[in-house]
Structure 1
């Protein structure tokens, strides 16, 4: 039976779920969701374009911010086809391999985002602890190496997940509880033992999000210790002010993630609407809020974006 099911795996589609209880309002709900996608993709693309165009922004802090924008555009584009497909056209059926591909890209970009946030905390520590050697320590080749390292690590860790799921037998209709494919959802579908998949998934979470968040906390403990050693109150205020945007980005990313994790474990019998809402906040809110936070709190980024439009108008 297992071999037969596995052999016909290519023929088994996956059926996604919209927003439970609000299926009749999908047309109206598509407006705020599409607006969030536009803000996330356009906002993060403007940050990337501003950093690329303005040589004054070719500093470590802004190069890392550009990496963060890339990961958030990646997360948004990964979920957009199925989410808007359901809201606009009620297109719930997805090819199984396409679902595995979407799962891989969502989790890979999320893992990369966590790694970039860690790199940004290291950047803030170096800037405050050793400001005179800041650009000497974080050189362009070193920043590129960090970015490539984060990308390769994320892809290598996430690659086994779809491969292992692809080998398992599926004996019934594959219905997921979200508008996109997540490992935590897909692992519930096989009619076989998924203990190895569960152990691997937990190990990846601990080795990425768990370790990254711990190191971010350590970085800020060291930053706070360094700031307290600054003699003047004005100097301490300026040093901490350079970290505000990054702290907001960390909170916007990790608080919803912790909320989703708690919901899955402590509130399994909660309304499906609650689980859908928490997962949506985790995937959609950081890409929307981060470009707004950095545009408002970081004057050089704001000025860089303004300069883009000025150059565009001059060309016209």
Structure 2
């Protein structure tokens, strides 16, 4: 990969961040979708943008790429002002969309070749790049395969390879592993970690909290268009959640949980499961040891616990 995906992290004028967003606002029909958010993405890091459906993530990304014009605020991407100089900024950016949009009439090789033309890359140069791109995506030998013959994981990896055609400094990834099986997810994670190691800047949206914990150096949580938390994953867990969680489930667990609520700092019911958030879980575990009608899981607090505490457990459509 060294020849193709060069290790030359972007260094905007003055050594600034790869992406900087200040007081970004966007409304539709009088409703604020993005309400004055600020964040910066240091060069060579993975930054996660998390939030429930309708939180404003997609609108934020579209504004950052110059595809949606904001109502207020400033954006600098790859050292360029957006939307004023969005075209020049996007020349140094790769995008993995939420849904694969590969051309079904082309082979894998043809999809990469045609995409390279958007960046002014000629066919001879693309012929030299494609073997390494396919190798990076774990698709060696699939260059002449019709798109319809590829599995969902293969298509996702080809979409990632396509985003690297122009050797971008910054890669936007919108839910890159949605719909993939665990094996395919882990392979994508491995490839993304390689990009980070090579000095690329990744900007990631995901609904998988374990994915964000594994990949992100720092992340921001949006809800109702506002930035409600920002920090490193472990920092956010320490700041917002008790260190231990005991999930209790079984017959009549709701009544049992209410009468034993004092055994945790906090207790929440979600469906047929009681979540006890504890600094010291020993007293609760001692009581549960004698409850043969109940089952439980004792685990460390996670980023998902933070996300649910800050954004709620109600379903968002």
TM-score interval for Structure 1 and Structure 2 normalised by the shorter chain = under 0.3
Q: TM-score, normalised by structure 2?
A: 0.23
TM-score, structure 1 as length reference:
0.23
Structure in which a larger fraction of residues adopt helix: 1
- The structure with higher relative contact order (CA 8 Å, sep 6+) is 1
Return the structure number with greater strand share. 2
Bigger-Rg structure (1/2): 2
